[in-house]
A and B are shown apart, each in its own frame.
Chain A
Amino acid sequence: MIQVEGLSKYFGSIKAVDNLSFHVKPGEIVGLLGPNGAGKTTTMRCMCGITPASEGRVIIQGADLADDPITAKRELAFVPSEPRLFDYLTVREHLGFFARLYSAADSETRSLHRQKVQQSEQAGESLLQELDLGDRADYLPGALSRGMKQKLMIACALIHEPKILIFDEPFTGLDPHAIRKVRRIIQAHIAKGAAIIISSHLLGMVEDMISNAIILSQGQMLVEGSLKELRQRLSSEHQDADLEEIFIQLTSNNAQSPA
């Protein structure tokens, strides 16, 4: 489970995220939605420790990210919107690196550690096959398309079977086949009890996946709830609205309100 309490992030005088609180339970997918510049990526980066929060706490599986980052991060995986990989590691070596990265922390003996690494590497191999990267295993990232890099990022994130998954725009650059496969993988992890936070502008794509949605605007939480609960906030004529319509209605209302 991941719990965010009063999270704020300042960049100088700019408040990118303002007092955000929510939690995601095991087996739940929460969609973090909002217009450009709403603070979604900053929130996610604070939640996974790339950017330290200015205020508030992030608790992952009972461990505070600020006080005990290593324990907190052990069960976490983050897939950024832009796939950034190591230039001189092959596809397979990326998986080998991630296998070692997450196996090292809690291994008591060398043989146990080696065994865990081997297991992770085997899991990585099957992920490569599943994501159609098997024939590119010895390629360097420079020889991969953007979509392939994105798939590799996803494979790297999943190799250690994390309990918390944070996806920032995971479907960008993927072809329809790959999107379907990634959706299937995400749903499999949900079935195993992972807690997932996903951010996407492809609202139709995530609509049937998410159990709850959080809509951000100007760093603040605008609304939170299931699709049904969000619909109830709209006027009676929008009671059949899909996620995109809900999003447009809620965010445009918010954009007009200051004026």
Chain B
Amino acid sequence: MNQALFYLILRSTKGRIRAKITRLKNPRYLIGAIIGFAYFALIFRRRIMGGGPSISEVVFLSEGFAAVAACILMFVLSVQWMLVFASGGLNLNESEMELLFPAPLSRRALIHYHLLKAQFGFLVLSSIIALFLKPILGQAGYLPSTFMLFLTMNVFLFNQTFLDMLALVQTKRWLFRSLQGLFALILLFSAIVTLISSLQSLTSSDPIFPDYALVTWVAAPFQWLVRGFVEPGLQSVLISFTAQFSLLGAYYLAITSLSFSFEEGTAQKWSKRKKRRRRFRREQREVNSEKPRAARSAWFGVSPSIWRVLVGKSAIGLLRYATKVPITYMVPGFLICWMFALISGPSEVAPMLGFMALGFGGVLILAGGRLLHLDFRTELENIELLKSFPVKGYQMVISVLVINCLVLGSIHLLLSFLFTLSSMLIVDASSWPYSPIAIALSVMMIFPIVSMVFLLLENLLFLWLPGWFLPEKGERRSRGFDVMGRRIFNIIIRFFGFGLMIIFPTLVGVSATILLGGNTGLLIGSSLFAFGVLAELVPAVAVAGFLYDRIDSIGDDAV
């Protein structure tokens, strides 16, 4: 390892920690940290104090759980392969590219730097999480297991960047992408077949796919990868570690020995990003040059070219959401746990699911803004451009946010379908109070709406309202994004905003479900919940549009 790069990693880590600690001198960050800590302490209190069974007793020992986890892994990987990525494990940021590429460093040194930087961060993060998880998991393998999870993610990121870089430097890029897509489809098919077959095997001895043996060859390596995380025991951990390091080693050898240019790939990635921004500016000019007559005849008062720009950007958003694993999969994760725990979950797993829902919810509430960092705020980096569009605030909010919400909602609809299907298969539905179809329909009604609310709130209440209510002293006009740093208010508003928007439709929905009873009650309750939340979005968008018209700066803190 190059001494200078080691110096860079150590000093950067020190600087990062120092900056985070120094920030706590500021009361708003200190209060935010206390609230965050208190939230988790409250959730974990019973577990930490030793009450209740450990999660490992409920989940990790479930038969066939490794197969299900491997399928999820295959599903995520196939989605990653099908889509083009903007980020990845081997990506150097612009500073690294500008400062390290002209330096006398070999490609190998740069790769070592990146590997070490990532592993170091993962190890620190794993240790912190493991400390939290120790009382919950209640077994010795918690630290390697947590580290394993991050290692798996790292292998994915490696895979993603490596393929992307290879594709970028290909002359016949379309051929490379087509092959990549084909492999992804094979993987997806294998994941579905394995999932259904393995779940079926829990309740029945008859395999539903006669050629299942062929698919097991595809699924087996993924099961090796996840075993250490989902199953306790030294043997599982060793198998996973071996699989992970073999894969990492293969990537390492490929990256260091193949003739493709790491520098070329990185430079082209940044070039692509700049081109995208230039295209946005060009489209903005087209929008501005459009005659008002065209705008009058448009849908919602927004001219067709604006719609084109925004829909086009949403296509980029689609990729972003699909690849933002935490936010895309954590919201449905939260909802699934919540749904099954509170509505129809089997009694033996309900407390565990409820606990997991609280955990997911807490992470979303505290880290949601961070996870969505590249979402709408990225659009708002171009606030000057957006403000120059000949549209009113509410139109802009509808155009930008609702389209993004629909994209996210659509992804969640698909995920909810897959999750509901697998959940129906994994548990014996005969003991449920509702039919699996009614549950599936209600989940599919609720998921997209809740994800829309989440996204809207994240971007509106958490971002705009604090700025509006807390203008800088002596300023005549609000400077919404300049006060984004007031995270404590964001957290409070995020927490209570989400709760307030959800509570009334939830009360109505649950009341209808209980009063009417049965499958009809569930469906009507879900519909009332969904429509109730949708109705609340109308004033929320109006308020947001009103605020949007008054924002004249986003400030550095916001982005």
Contact = CB atoms under 8 A, between A and B. Distances in A.
A50 B263 contact: yes
A80 B98 contact: yes
Interface in B1-46: 2-4, 7-8, 11-16, 19
Contact of B102 (A77, A97, A140): A77
A50 B263 CA distance: 6
Contact of B19 (A50, A76, A88, A93): A88
A73 B98 CA distance: 13
A121 B8 CA distance: 15
A50 B101 contact: yes
A249 interface: no
Given A86-B8, A88-B15, A89-B12, A73 B103 contact: yes
B151 to A, nearest CB: 24
B8 A89 contact: yes
Contacts of B268: 11
B95 A85 contact: yes
B131 interface: no
B261 interface: yes
A147 interface: no
Contacts of A98: 4
A25 interface: no
Interface string B84-110: 000000000011111101111110000
Given A84-B94, A96-B7, A140-B15, A51 B264 contact: yes
A86 B3 contact: no
Contact of A51 (B15, B16, B19, B263): B263
B267 A70 contact: no
A85 B96 CA distance: 8
B105 A101 contact: yes
Nearest to B106: A70
Interface in B240-280: 261, 263-264, 267-268, 271
A86 B95 contact: yes
Nearest to A16: B271
Contact of B99 (A84, A88, A90, A100): A84
Interface residues of B, number: 30
Nearest to B15: A88
Given A50-B263, A97-B8, A100-B7, A90 B15 contact: yes
Contacts of A82: 98
Contact of B12 (A69, A70, A78, A86): A86
A194 to B, nearest CB: 15
A14 B494 CA distance: 47
A104 B8 contact: no
Nearest to B173: A12
A104 B261 contact: no
A105 B267 CA distance: 25
B74 to A, nearest CB: 33
Given A51-B264, A96-B7, A97-B7, A102 B98 contact: no
Contacts of A97: 4, 7-8, 11
A76 B102 contact: yes
B98 to A, nearest CB: 5
A183 interface: no
A100 B98 contact: no
Contacts of A105: 104
A11 B168 CA distance: 11
A104 B113 CA distance: 15
A167 B447 CA distance: 54
A181 interface: no
Nearest to B262: A52
Contacts of A88: 11-16, 19
A178 B469 CA distance: 41
Contacts of B105: 70, 73, 101
Contacts of B263: 49-52
A109 to B, nearest CB: 14
A74 interface: yes
Contacts of B2: 101, 104
Nearest to A48: B102
A89 B19 contact: no
Determine which residue in A49, A50, A73, A89 has the highest number of CB atoms from chain B within 10 A of its CB, and name it. A50
A81 to B, nearest CB: 10
Contacts of A93: 11, 15
A117 to B, nearest CB: 9
A70 B15 contact: no
A201 interface: no
Contacts of A15: none
Interface string A46-69: 001111100000000000000001
A73 B102 contact: yes
A97 B10 CA distance: 11
B8 A51 contact: no
A85 B100 CA distance: 11
A136 interface: no
A50 B264 contact: no
Interface in A86-125: 86-90, 93, 96-98, 100-102, 104-105
22 contacts: A50-B98, A51-B267, A70-B106, A71-B104, A76-B102, A84-B95, A84-B98, A85-B99, A86-B8, A86-B12, A86-B95, A86-B96, A87-B12, A87-B15, A88-B16, A93-B15, A97-B8, A97-B11, A98-B4, A101-B2, A140-B19, A156-B99
Given A11-B271, A50-B267, A84-B95, 20 more contacts: A52-B267, A70-B105, A73-B104, A78-B98, A78-B102, A84-B94, A84-B99, A85-B95, A85-B99, A86-B96, A87-B15, A88-B13, A88-B15, A89-B8, A89-B12, A96-B7, A101-B104, A101-B105, A104-B2, A140-B15
Interface of B: 2-4, 7-8, 11-16, 19, 94-99, 101-106, 261, 263-264, 267-268, 271
| 9 pairs of A and B residues whose beta carbons are closest in the complex | A88-B15, A100-B4, A101-B4, A48-B102, A84-B95, A78-B102, A73-B104, A51-B267, A50-B101
